[in-house]
Structure 1
């Protein structure tokens, strides 16, 4: 896998990468962001997505740095991309049934593989990069080797997967989520739905061979791409509903801080700066990838220094109550856990903690509180609010 500074997850590496990128975040980014120059050549984009996904660096500080260097007009293209990430998060948070529906579709498609040898063979060829479509096969290999793909390349892979290879989009989304260093349930699931024509009803993204050749400096000349998008069947998306409420953090009550890959930068949050933290833990069950393990190690060290508290690795959330009691508290504080597999596990975790006299409080960042209410419809509705949001968030 590519070296950590290339796609950083620790705070020091992310800040160093941000400093490198800021000079190119204005007009140069707007001009070059959609070109894919190949592995090791992704200099036109920030490559901060893995750190932003774990919030070892925050959207707010990235946006502030870019604004300070370029101003809102010259930096508009990059700032819009940062808000896209928050848009996906907020949109799914207000429609969690879409995540549940994706999981059911993934499981049904996986079951079909056992019954349909032709589908299984096409799926196997796609996963191993043996489709004969040069760009697709290369990108599948790059993803496996580096854990990263240029965002524009992700769109091409998804489109070819769905419309040329005729594979269920849920299987492609599952593969990306498993492989990507910056894999995020909201961005990944909803981006695949967008390509498939399910997010904006009837509006699919169809990969074009000539454009792929142009945007990759002539490295690829894919043949046999679909010329028609046959949109998968799907039920209409539910209307937006308020995101789930959580127990509030009691700022005067001693706490055990539980750091997860959903928010590994809690010591940067002003609202938690003076929280009386007695101990800090992370779960080995959350460190399923090298990137997550590195981010959590780094977060534990920073939290220990900030709160002058002991840190500990525990095996799983089943040990949280014992860790809290050992630290002399019954309040456990973590960052807000958005829709995804970790959130799916929360009701059982919260119930077990409550049975042992502990409360699990989640901290929702000011950025999310401000932006998510504008993520109920299409992205354009949010985009219109960006100038006002930037002013308020300053």
Structure 2
């Protein structure tokens, strides 16, 4: 059973209030330790709510600073901004997502003719490698749709350097099962562990570290490759300028919600003529159920705000729905690069063929953060105090 709050904004806010007293030094001291399911007091468990924007990044930052001040909450705040940094990094290098999807397809095709590797991948995904900690994390991931962040790093490292399995297949395994997986954070985190995001700098899981930070639950001494070299793959491409945001529609628009942004309360003032939500992309059962419930919650709150009923529709029904509303524009929050953005890219010409324009509204948070991800996180981090003042006024 998942430890995460229910996939609603109300339950996310309840957990935010509950965890606020621990966002300072308690989080900094305990965030790297994973005492196991049911005992995780020092992490917020809100990553999936932020990923779907049931809660906004600024709400977490504002709560943390308001409760403890910016110094004591530095580590917590940085974790919130890491997700924005990863999204910006990929947004400025859009070819990396397409290349990743192509690599996944290539590796999956290769398994059809590589029986030994296919069995090794299947054993890893089934939690049947004989490495007790790794197998436990594989089961927890599949059963609950969530893992502690440190466990994710250990898992990825063991997958890549001890089991010597293709990193894109491990990343896709995570993306399929994690309730909080987004294209940027998931893909680029796996690249970082492999040593190809920051070339030459990889992450090696070590038995002593695992034993210490799982409080002795696991001790894989003698089972891990703790001397492996980083993978040798091309580094990330250079950053491109951030594409300009779409203008807001001038007249009435049909509002389309999607799983990347479920905070209709903060959408810009517009005349909303109709309402719908884009059905979630296929995922594993736990992740799919969480996303669908989050969409239902977002749709219900949008219905209350705009006084309109709305349905959840598959991608191939959106253009026909939009045409049936009589609106000449569809408004949606702009998603970061990933599956939803891919779907909307396909939808745009289908709408245009019906004389309807698609307008993707970019949040001020993204407009401020994404262009700063041109280099590593440390140069990005220097901007965090200014970003807090600009984007989380309650924290200033």
What TM-score bracket applies, with the shorter chain setting the length?
over 0.9
SS, match of residue 229 in structure 1:
coil
Q: What's 1:301 paired with?
A: 300
Question: Given that residues 282 and 313 in structure 1 are in contact (C-alpha distance below 8 angstroms), is that contact kept between their aligned partners in structure 2?
Answer: yes
Question: Given that residues 286 and 292 in structure 1 are in contact (C-alpha distance below 8 angstroms), is that contact kept between their aligned partners in structure 2?
Answer: no
Q: What's 1:292 paired with?
A: 291
* Structure 1 position 249, deviation (Å): 1.4
Q: What's 1:337 paired with?
A: 335
TM-score w.r.t. length of structure 1: 0.95
Question: Given that residues 7 and 50 in structure 1 are in contact (C-alpha distance below 8 angstroms), is that contact kept between their aligned partners in structure 2?
Answer: no
Q: Please give the per-residue CA displacement for 1:163-193, whole angstroms capped at 9, x wherever unaligned.
A: 0000000000000000101111100000000
Q: How does 1:229-248 map to 2 (within 5 A)?
A: 229-248=228-247
**Are positions 1:277 and 2:260 aligned together?**
no
Task: Name structure 2 gaps, 5 residues minimum.
Answer: none
* Structure 1 position 346, deviation (Å): 2.7
Q: Please give the per-residue CA displacement for 1:112-171, whole angstroms capped at 9, x wherever unaligned.
A: 212222211211111111111111111111111111000010000000000000000000
Question: Given that residues 279 and 315 in structure 2 are in contact (C-alpha distance below 8 angstroms), is that contact kept between their aligned partners in structure 1?
Answer: no
2:152, 2:335 → 1: CA distance? 25
Work out which structure has the larger RCO, using CA pairs closer than 8 Å and 6 or more positions apart in sequence: 2
Q: Please give the per-residue CA displacement for 1:331-358, whole angstroms capped at 9, x wherever unaligned.
A: 1011112211222233321001000011
1:318, 1:243 → 2: CA distance? 29
**Are positions 1:2 and 2:2 aligned together?**
yes
2:281, 2:359 → 1: CA distance? 18
1:11, 1:212 → 2: CA distance? 34
**Are positions 1:79 and 2:90 aligned together?**
no
**Are positions 1:53 and 2:48 aligned together?**
no
* RMSD across aligned positions (CA): 1.5
Greater Cα shift, 35-44 or 378-387: 35-44
Question: Given that residues 334 and 361 in structure 1 are in contact (C-alpha distance below 8 angstroms), is that contact kept between their aligned partners in structure 2?
Answer: yes
Q: What's 1:374 paired with?
A: 372
Question: Given that residues 255 and 324 in structure 1 are in contact (C-alpha distance below 8 angstroms), is that contact kept between their aligned partners in structure 2?
Answer: no
Which of these residues, 198, 201, 210, is aligned with residue 199 of structure 2? Answer: 201
SS, match of residue 71 in structure 2:
helix
Question: Given that residues 206 and 229 in structure 1 are in contact (C-alpha distance below 8 angstroms), is that contact kept between their aligned partners in structure 2?
Answer: yes
Q: How does 1:91-240 map to 2 (within 5 A)?
A: 91-222=89-220, 223-240=222-239
* Structure 1 position 287, deviation (Å): 7.3
Task: Name structure 1 gaps, 5 residues minimum.
Answer: none
